[in-house]
Structure 1
Amino acid sequence: MEFKEEQKFTQWWLWLILIPIGILPIIGIYKQIIIGEPFGDKPMSNIGLVVFAIFIFSLLGLFILMKLKTTIDTDKIEMIFFPFVKKTTKWTEIKKAEVVNYGFVGGWGIRLWTKYGTVYNIKGNKGLAIELLNGKKYLIGTQKEAEMNEIVKKASGQQRL
């Protein structure tokens, strides 16, 4: 018995926003540094423009690299929100686990202080809500609601949650 899921930011509208943001520093560098004309009414220094470009490209690279990987088996639930968080929770540490529709929690990524505790999601509004024996809570987003629900029922039944 095992569940595996890997999610990435693949929303077309997100990339429709991010790609033009990535093109902006290229245009600025070309116009200001290569051609020699100031870029905009109040241009940055050349060094400032290069630092801005590095920041923007790093941000785009982060969106390309980010992924949410979930693995569930009879012993544990493992969640990796690369490159930020890795969590492994044994079933014996869990008070309650259920697949829920968590609605909108203010966006995607890592959301703190929600009614589900910390929410780790890439897209959608379905996820595995976990409450630990120590009272802490977190939620892992999923695009495979039915499959996750089935595996959680099997695993939690074996653990008698």
Structure 2
Amino acid sequence: MVEFKETQKMTQWWLWLLLAGVVGIWVWGITQQVILGQPFGNHPMSNTGLLVSSVFLAAIVAFFYSLTLRTNVNAQGIQLRYTPLTSTQLTWADIQKAEIIRYGFVGYGIRASPTYGTVYNAKGKTGLLLHKKSGEKFLLGTQHPKQLAQVVSQFVPTSSIAG
């Protein structure tokens, strides 16, 4: 059985630098105010508020760390899981056309695009654009376009996939 599997995570250096900067400022503020007893900022929040909001910040970092885009292509169709947000299954009978495209920046995560329909992207600018018979479109970001094109072309004969 021909199969394609890909797992992608958000590994953009600038995203993690931004998150590290926010966490660093927060840790500095907690150190200043809670440990050293000096107010952090002109209008400091309470120590309890500062510590409770730290839990919220940790949850945001954990969320970005857990974001994982998994694509599984097999004889039944394409299963897409964007953990922890959503999962969807597309059968080959629903797909009219598939093509590997190079696109500009469409954002990361799950997006609605007037050009590409529902976009699932973790990184990069290459993806599999699926045209469903219903008229809907799906764009699945990939880091392995040639391998994905090779597998998809076996199931969607009307594909315009050059890889």
TM-score (structure 1 length as normaliser): 0.91
Hey, what's the Cα distance between the residues in 2 that align with 1:22 and 1:8?
Answer: 20
Hey, what's the Cα distance between the residues in 2 that align with 1:25 and 1:13?
Answer: 18
Hey, what's the Cα distance between the residues in 1 that align with 2:151 and 2:113?
Answer: 27
Tell me how far 1:128 sits from its aligned partner: 0.9
Aligned position for 2:95: 94
Instruction: List aligned pairs for 1:1-161, cutoff 5 A.
Output: 1-105=2-106, 107-157=107-157
Kindly indicate whether the alpha-carbon contact (under 8 Å) linking 2:96 and 2:156 is maintained by their aligned counterparts in 1. no
Report the residue type matching 1:66 in the other structure.
L
Structure that is richer in helix per residue: 1
Hey, what's the Cα distance between the residues in 2 that align with 1:142 and 1:116?
Answer: 15
Any stretches of 5+ residues in structure 2 without a counterpart?
none
Report the residue type matching 2:130 in the other structure.
I
Q: How many residues align?
A: 158
Q: What SS does the corresponding residue of 2:154 show, helix, strand or coil?
A: helix
- 1:86-124 C-alpha deviation (Å, 9 max, x unpaired): 01111011111111112212x211111331111110111
TM-score (structure 2 length as normaliser): 0.90
Hey, what's the Cα distance between the residues in 2 that align with 1:57 and 1:15?
Answer: 13
Hey, what's the Cα distance between the residues in 2 that align with 1:156 and 1:136?
Answer: 16
